[in-house]
Structure 1
């Protein structure tokens, strides 16, 4: 019998519900249970794919090509499982499916209503992931904040589901803000009391309360919350800010959080093995304690919100820890970068990374960054758009194609070295219509890509509409650009690089390898890029930079 855990949030958004849920998932998996995770988002978008990263951070892409909320990235990194499109759904997706069924006459002339039709559709999503994965435990995070009008149908669906499934097979965890009031020199419980009261007014009594705060929430405060919110004292947990999100599982485990959840769900607590996770966090703290830092500059366009490049940043940190080095990662606005200030902005960079993105804004700054990396032999990693700007720069400066560009930015350019994929030519809808998800790539022998992957065929996740224009492939390779990865039919350029005798490490991928990076298993291209950056910083050959045991 699959057990279900629902995680709700109170007082404000961005509390860390996702990290709390993911940490519990990791702890339960360490006890030998098969854990699956799910995010229910109450907004009306069908998925986050058409949203600006300024709205909700990066769009995370699953193996099966679903554009999802960034919390799925946290889930994957913590529980080390590849999730699917069944792990994220929205109000928009629920309404879209119901309206399609209504148009087909599936409701036999009946009135379609929030209750029971919307709530039944939500509950079906809870059951679907259980049935398709056979998980022992499914953890579902409800996006937004209790009290939001758009989340009411989800809360009602959770209430109904727990009643139907059985109290012993479902539990509710409420993550709530316990703010510190500096003038009073104390944390305040009233916001949490009101939040739980709101939740109870909708028919749900939480089993556990997790107190989020930037100050310690001591036993007396937790006892007060327990009393006012009608939960047991040992079911209120403190989750004050940790040095890293990867420290949260240990912080909760020290309080017996996962043990109490097992007890509540009548799960055998078993003996947990978190040794690999704790080995990583120990190495992470040792690396971060180093005064010496390796400087990585990420040249993008959504630099005001670091969450827009969350998986990229995490993959860089994973790679730094693998070598026991401290990564100093700085986001650089491509729109403000030019030949006039590139030395000032990127002069101290040990490695330059250009991530994915869409639209014209900041493109010339990214081309400028690729030029600096190529000409001054700074290690370079291009991701998706980062490959495309590297190809444009190479075409302009090495292949004598002035103004070479992508038809995404300059439709009538003289040298469209990047062009729309043929199967995208007639696509008009924006949502879910790109080349999405994991695709195979043949890795060319004798390349840096082969050295990184050590496999002839690899699968990485994609999210793009444009590709290297095959009409210019021969001209680019004749000038020295090496194609190091191709689709199995050799139609699509997947990876390019510069030869080692020309540049110490310059590689770009049309895919997004950051999505598959794990704390103890960094994405291969990120790992080797960071190795090369460390070597540049320390003035040695990159092969002398060895990973920790």
Structure 2
């Protein structure tokens, strides 16, 4: 039977519960335990698929096509374990399921209430993850903070959960903030005390406290917190602000977080193997020469909107022994000030996904600049579509070419709606989502990068390359290097006689992992690194 860990948060939101949950998952895996992690989000949306990136950051897509919170990306990258739609639960999805059951008559005419029906559905979702993943430990992160009205059903559900499993089959981990008051020169424990008091008022006694702070917490303070909050001093774990999220698991390991959780769960504390992870952090802190990468997007005001793209770039830089000098370029600003001004000196250009007209001309201008200046370029989803539009307008002479998404009445819709999307009305969960196969053309750059004939990538789109323009496209120096197995859908394109110019309809950033960068990102960074001035040692080595 699985063991269960519940991660809650107090005092403030965005305190890092997701990273704590992911880090604990990493530490458990380092000891040989299998792990699955799920997120309980208190908002009423069924999923974040229709949310603006400014509301909730990027939408992460699982293998089975679920549109989820970005924390699932952290879970996958830290544990190197694929999550599924079962790992993302929202208030909206819970109420939708309960109402559907009521309409079918599943409750035999009974009055449907928050308790027991809503909380029962929540508990069932947690058990479902345990049954389907067959994990040794299931970690559940509860979104929001203790005291939020929206989170109360989830907190009640995990309180009730205690009666369904043995006392040593679950552990409560509570993450709080310890602010530093500069005037008095003190770290304050009261916010943590009040947060735990709020948690205990609804019947949950935390087993472990993870205290976030910007400076060390001494043993005297830990003893004070433990005494007021009813936990042992060794179960008060400090979590200092880190220079990288990848440094957090190592810091929490030194603080004994995993040992404390295993003790509560009555599981053996096997020897931990974090050598590869420690090497990863060492390389992060001692990078080689930095490559300047321009990320040309329309949501750059919120960096979380492109979280997986940034992490994929970072993974590739680690693999290439170079640093990442990331330049956030607003596509709308690029329209006004020009590509040459904003992109001059860049070693690579990345154009990520997005929706709608805003900033599209700026993306197209950046792609033209990368093509003409022979600067390595990688386009993702809308990035591929805008690369096709750039080709059509500036190479094929189709000056009014565009996407049917942007201009339905276009005379040259080089990007058009997928046939199966023609009659779709609802926007949520109806795109081409999840993993699909892509067959690579032998001898192409894409094929050389992957080293495989067929690859499986995650998708999130409605529009696709218009095959009416395929012949013209191929005649102009471009290559379609990846297609669906039936040859109908264009998945990967590249420009011949260019150092690196590739664009894909899918989202490779979702499959990149620390220590295992995605082949397309690795290829981009390697091409960008070749543009850097050689060090004397490299020049001598190359001459020899």
State the SS of the aligned residue for 1:332.
strand
- Cα offsets for 1:327-360 (capped at 9, x unmatched): 1112111011137432221001100000010011
The structure 2 residue matched to 1:529, chosen from 518, 521, 524, is 524
1-side partners of 2:379 and 2:532: how far apart? 20
Contact 1:336 1:365 (8 Å CA) reproduced: yes
State the SS of the aligned residue for 1:419.
strand
| Equivalent position of 2:92 in the other structure | 92
1-side partners of 2:186 and 2:341: how far apart? 45
Is 1:516 the equivalent of 2:511? yes
Is 1:450 the equivalent of 2:447? yes
The structure 2 residue matched to 1:382, chosen from 379, 383, 389, is 379
2-side partners of 1:482 and 1:101: how far apart? 51
1-side partners of 2:339 and 2:483: how far apart? 32
Instruction: Compare 181-190 and 370-379 and name the one that shifted more.
Output: 181-190
| Equivalent position of 1:280 in the other structure | 280
1:539 deviation in Å?
6.6
What is the root-mean-square deviation of aligned Cα atoms in Å? Answer: 1.4
2-side partners of 1:19 and 1:340: how far apart? 38
Alignment of 1:325-474 (within 5 A): 325-338=322-335, 340-474=337-471
Contact 1:339 1:368 (8 Å CA) reproduced: no
1-side partners of 2:319 and 2:129: how far apart? 33
| Equivalent position of 1:187 in the other structure | 187
State the SS of the aligned residue for 1:375.
helix
Is 1:297 the equivalent of 2:294? yes
Contact 2:208 2:260 (8 Å CA) reproduced: no
1:261 deviation in Å?
1.2
1:410 deviation in Å?
1.1
| Equivalent position of 1:26 in the other structure | 26
| Equivalent position of 1:219 in the other structure | 219
Is 1:507 the equivalent of 2:509? no
1:256 deviation in Å?
1.6
1-side partners of 2:263 and 2:12: how far apart? 29
- Count residues in correspondence: 538
Structure 1: state its 5+ residue gaps.
Answer: none
1:443 deviation in Å?
0.5
Q: Residue 267 and residue 350 in structure 1: after superposition, are their counterparts in 2 closer, same or farther (change >3 A)?
A: same
1-side partners of 2:5 and 2:295: how far apart? 37
State the SS of the aligned residue for 2:163.
helix
| Equivalent position of 2:480 in the other structure | 483
- Cα offsets for 1:459-485 (capped at 9, x unmatched): 010000000001111111111211010
Contact 1:286 1:324 (8 Å CA) reproduced: no
Contact 1:293 1:325 (8 Å CA) reproduced: yes
Instruction: Compare 135-144 and 211-220 and name the one that shifted more.
Output: 211-220
Alignment of 1:182-261 (within 5 A): 182-261=182-261
Contact 1:439 1:461 (8 Å CA) reproduced: yes
- Cα offsets for 1:99-120 (capped at 9, x unmatched): 1111111111110000000010
Question: TM-score under structure 2 normalisation?
Answer: 0.97
State the SS of the aligned residue for 1:445.
coil
2-side partners of 1:398 and 1:41: how far apart? 47
Contact 2:439 2:453 (8 Å CA) reproduced: yes
- Cα offsets for 1:270-313 (capped at 9, x unmatched): 111111211211222221xx4x4210000001101100000000
2-side partners of 1:409 and 1:20: how far apart? 41
Contact 2:123 2:161 (8 Å CA) reproduced: yes
| Equivalent position of 2:313 in the other structure | 316
1-side partners of 2:503 and 2:487: how far apart? 17
2-side partners of 1:386 and 1:536: how far apart? 23
1:163 deviation in Å?
2.0
1-side partners of 2:252 and 2:335: how far apart? 47
1-side partners of 2:513 and 2:2: how far apart? 26
Question: TM-score under structure 1 normalisation?
Answer: 0.96
1:538 deviation in Å?
3.3
2-side partners of 1:433 and 1:183: how far apart? 54
- Cα offsets for 1:428-457 (capped at 9, x unmatched): 101000000010000111111011100000
